[in-house]
Chain A
Amino acid sequence: MNLTLYVWRQKDAEDKGSLEKYDARDINHHMSFLEMLDVVNEGLIQEGVDPIAFDHDCREGICGMCSLMINGRAHGPEKATTVCQLHMRHFKDGDTIYIEPWRAKAFPVTKDLIVDRSAFDRVMQAGGFVSVNTGGAPDANALPIPKANADVAFDAAACIGCGACVASCKNASAMLFVSAKVSQFALLPQGHAERKQRVEKMIAQMDEEGFGNCTNYYECEAACPKEISVRFIAKMNREYLMATIAK
């Protein structure tokens, strides 16, 4: 199939950037979306045009590196699918596709489709851990954890830190990402000792990074490739309330 692409090109963080038009020819429907871009890039190189820069690594939907807005949707049209796992069979001959980077104040564009998501790392550094040093941990089975809690904690822990939730939110809120980590630890006994300070610190850092507020549009949940539930946002709000009341 043949496609028309409009791709965001921006030389570096300072550059203004613009959408450029490219043709994608002879695309096989078994290709992944990123393989389609590889083919386009190979053509650009042959023409002497700077290839399109985009983030990717594992190409199997788990590292969270890939991050494209496709026709205005984070990770494209397929539900619960990262863009590296999106295949061209979901497009048809003659389609026009707009490809843009994540857009959020806290995620400045580095080049073309690549953004800087280090704000997520700083939120994690503020409290996304259990303070336990290496060595001296008790036997792993000394602490039974009800399967139901462990399962929900896992649902939260499945977040890949891609940032699609932020990119798809009108307010560029990071609530889904932050609440996933807060909830994972709030649901597990290991996380209890630091429960209050964790939620406070992570939220404070989230605000400092310039992420917006949550006004319950739930676009984040719809875009999330790991189907992280907005129930975790409610859980984080409760955790936060409890922490501040305790003060």
Chain B
Amino acid sequence: MKLESKVPSGPLAEKWDKHRFESKLVNPANKRKFSAIVVGSGLAGAAGAASLAELGYNVSCFCYQDSPRRAHSIAAQGGINASKNYQNDGDSTWRLFYDTIKGGDFRSREANVYRLAQVANNIIDQCVAQGVPFARDYGGLLDNRSFGGAQVSRTFYARGQTGQQLLLGAYSALSRQIGKGQVRMYPRAEMLDVVVVDGRARGIVVRDMVTGKISSHAADAVVLATGGYGNVFYLATYAKGCNVTAAYKAYKKGALFANPCFTQIHPTCIPVSGEYQSKLTLMSESLRNDGRIWVPKNRDDKRAAADIPEDERDYYLERKYPSFGNLAPRDISSRSAKEVVDDGRGVGETGVGVYLDFADAIKRLGKNVIEERYGNLFQMYERITGEDPYTVPMRIYPASHYTMGGLWVDYNLESTIPALFVAGEANFSDHGANRLGASALMQGLADGYFVLPYTLGNHFARAGVSNIKADHPEFKKAEEEVKERINKLLSINGKRSPDTFHRALGKIMWEYCGMGRNATGLKKALQEIPALREEFWQDLKVMGSADELNQQLELAGRVADFLEIGEVMCYDALTREESCGAHFREEYQTEEGEALRNDRDFCYVSAWEYTGVGKEPNLHKEPLVFENVELTTRSYK
């Protein structure tokens, strides 16, 4: 299989314009003849479904929550990037492009990232026009902040609820189209397979999560905007329902999975407090603008934070990275936290945490300024931990937060299965080996509002209307397979709940394929995961039946897929014998313990092809060609 990125020729800055010009258009009168399925109603899905419907295409949209407004995008706190340069601090499309590609440690495609930077400004315009209440200054103009290691203030935000406000904007556009009948919305619907006919995606199979009914839906194109798979680690900042199922089913049907081991561990989350813990909560990274991160210099120092004198504290990020300090990129901050904890200098009851201290900022700016900036976050922290961060430093620790890897797509966001498009976190396209803060929201909305409407139009115009309907034998076959699998899950009748298997998998993944990886550990994981999977299919216990609302059954199906993707992640991590971005292979580091990238041998995208459960997948490589930026070593010293 040859991977064709379909990046248009010509100068970087002109590629997208040129591509749009060369795209075929669908005659306005013919648009209503085409239909699209959009799975997912997060930023990417809701924006895409609404925009396609506005153009006149018939859209069906699916989500597993009871309302499209609850997609996981709602939880994003910090903000969204654009290079408006409203602050006159030297920002530009080029700088946003460069920062994003450098932040990704040169493992993403230049042309995609440049397009992202180009359309970013349109997103802000669009959202403001929808009535999204971004933060404003006293003159009534939009406010910005610097975020996640950027040296310009380019992040637009809506208090600590940026994702919520952006999603509600996209949801309102989607609602308008649902009201008009241009989008048919299917909430509480879980996609359980992609249907491929003659090599092209023609539709999906869905389970109604209230009645259990399995149904088929056909269309001229299928878009997966189903989010990331970071819940493979069990403990994560993701919503509980986030899953890999949709993407994984596409993988099993022939779509390649790219860079699955590129997963982001976010440095500022509330640490685990006990075995029963069901999820981890993110504390927005914006806190690092004013908080100072430290641990005691001495091991096993059990004194309260306030009793540890200044000269016995190690402000390790400030020490190691003087120019970025507490704002060092996520992968570096996370890894440094792991280092000090592994060294026995962690804080809190469990010793697995570091301090994020606001005492200096409160002294300098006053409590009310800190309250204005972070009031809701401090409240959330107190609610969860029962500690007051105005008087006692916060405790934080890294947690699974985002997946840069995802289904492989070309410049049109089309996967290796023709007519199957992938948008948002579910694809791999823009963040390389590490995503910068405030750029996932940007990418989700860029894909949905400004890329899919063009590339799907071009696809429709070239491919013509499909005459395959949902009663085609391939749909029936897929439905039967889905039912069979559900019955299998229900009939094992073993002893363990799906959740216990999920936790066990999470532990393996966190231990061997988390913040630090090495060949020995990964090989071990590659033995432990299949063994766990075996046990799952022998000893699983799912209560209830197939034709009712059954949350255990939903969970079991998702865990079954996590038990397979985990293995693909380990293969990917094992074969990538370099350290880059969030992928830190312990064998490949400099003397100072920094990541050692290997551009000579690994400057490519790893795209994996399914070969069967438990079999090593086939690796395909898309070489990354950099014509416009020089590959430098990231240095945040």
Contacts and interface: CB of A to CB of B under 8 A. Distances in A.
A3 B545 CA distance: 30
A110 interface: yes
Contacts of B551: 51, 53
Interface string B105-135: 0000000000000000010111111110111
A79 to B, nearest CB: 11
B70 A81 contact: no
A132 B66 contact: no
Contact of B549 (A53, A64, A188): A53
Contacts of B139: 144
Contact of A132 (B67, B130, B187): B130
A113 to B, nearest CB: 11
Contacts of B171: 124
A39 to B, nearest CB: 6
A185 to B, nearest CB: 6
Given A30-B273, A129-B173, A134-B449, A57 B384 contact: no
A145 B136 contact: yes
Contacts of A147: 136-138, 140
A145 B140 contact: yes
Interface string B581-608: 0000000000000000000000000000
Contact of B161 (A42, A141, A158, A161): A158
A134 B383 contact: no
B380 A85 contact: yes
B131 A130 contact: yes
Interface in B254-287: 273-274, 276-279, 281-282
A50 B74 contact: no
A97 interface: no
A143 B128 contact: yes
Contacts of B66: 55, 65, 116-118
Contacts of A133: 51, 54
A134 B51 contact: yes
B301 interface: no
B67 A120 contact: yes
Interface stretch (A149-157, A168-176, A238-246): A149-157
Nearest to A60: B281
B565 interface: no
A46 B552 CA distance: 13
Which residue, A34, A60, A64, has most C-beta atoms of chain B within 10 A? A60
Contact of B239 (A57, A124, A161): A57
Contacts of A120: 67
Contact of B126 (A45, A62, A126, A137): A137
B276 A141 contact: no
Contacts of B74: 58, 62-64, 160
Contacts of B636: none
Nearest to A81: B383
A156 to B, nearest CB: 9
A25 to B, nearest CB: 12
B140 A144 contact: yes
B165 interface: yes
B128 A190 contact: yes
Contacts of A46: 495, 497
Interface stretch (B174-182, B355-363, B620-628): B174-182
A35 B72 CA distance: 19
A130 B173 CA distance: 8
Contact of B179 (A125, A134, A141): A125
Nearest to A125: B179
B133 A188 contact: yes
Contact of B278 (A34, A49, A125): A34
A59 B159 contact: no
Nearest to B385: A30
A144 B70 contact: no
A39 B495 CA distance: 16
B274 A28 contact: yes
Contacts of A206: none
Nearest to B449: A134
Contacts of B549: 12, 53, 110-111, 114
B497 A137 contact: no
A94 interface: no
A131 B499 CA distance: 44
Nearest to B542: A45
A138 B136 contact: no
B86 interface: yes
B544 interface: yes
Contacts of B136: 144-145, 147, 150
Contacts of A32: 278, 384
B387 to A, nearest CB: 11
A57 B65 CA distance: 8
Contacts of A78: 383
B84 interface: yes
Interface string B26-60: 00000000000000000000010011001000000
Contacts of A231: none
Given A59-B240, A157-B133, A138 B65 contact: no
A158 B137 CA distance: 19
Given A12-B549, A42-B497, A191 B129 contact: no
B176 A131 contact: yes
Interface in B172-214: 172-173, 175-176, 178-179, 185, 187, 210
Contacts of B495: 46
A168 B383 CA distance: 23
A32 B278 CA distance: 9
A193 B86 CA distance: 27
Contact of A89 (B135, B179, B276, B386): B386
A142 to B, nearest CB: 9
Nearest to A116: B66
Contacts of B429: none
Contact of A57 (B72, B281, B552): B72
B316 interface: no
A155 to B, nearest CB: 9
B371 interface: no
A124 B172 contact: yes
B97 to A, nearest CB: 20
B543 interface: yes
B419 interface: no
B164 interface: yes
Contacts of B185: 121
Nearest to B159: A154
Nearest to B129: A137
B130 A140 contact: no
A140 B125 contact: yes
Contacts of A184: 131, 133
Given A60-B380, A129-B173, A11 B548 contact: yes
Interface in B378-414: 380, 383-384, 386
B172 A190 contact: no
Given A125-B178, A190-B131, 4 more contacts: A63-B70, A85-B384, A132-B129, A147-B138
29 contacts: A12-B549, A28-B276, A35-B276, A35-B278, A45-B541, A51-B552, A57-B72, A58-B72, A62-B163, A64-B69, A65-B65, A85-B380, A87-B384, A89-B386, A111-B210, A111-B548, A121-B68, A121-B175, A128-B175, A130-B130, A134-B453, A137-B128, A140-B142, A141-B84, A154-B133, A157-B158, A157-B165, A157-B168, A160-B74
The 9 closest A-B pairs by CB, nearest first: A144-B140, A125-B179, A129-B172, A137-B129, A137-B125, A140-B128, A134-B51, A57-B239, A154-B133
Interface of A: 11-12, 28, 30-32, 34-35, 38-39, 42, 45-46, 48-51, 53, 55-65, 78, 81, 85, 87, 89, 110-111, 114, 116-118, 120-121, 124-126, 128-135, 137-141, 143-147, 150, 153-154, 157-158, 160-161, 184-185, 188, 190-191
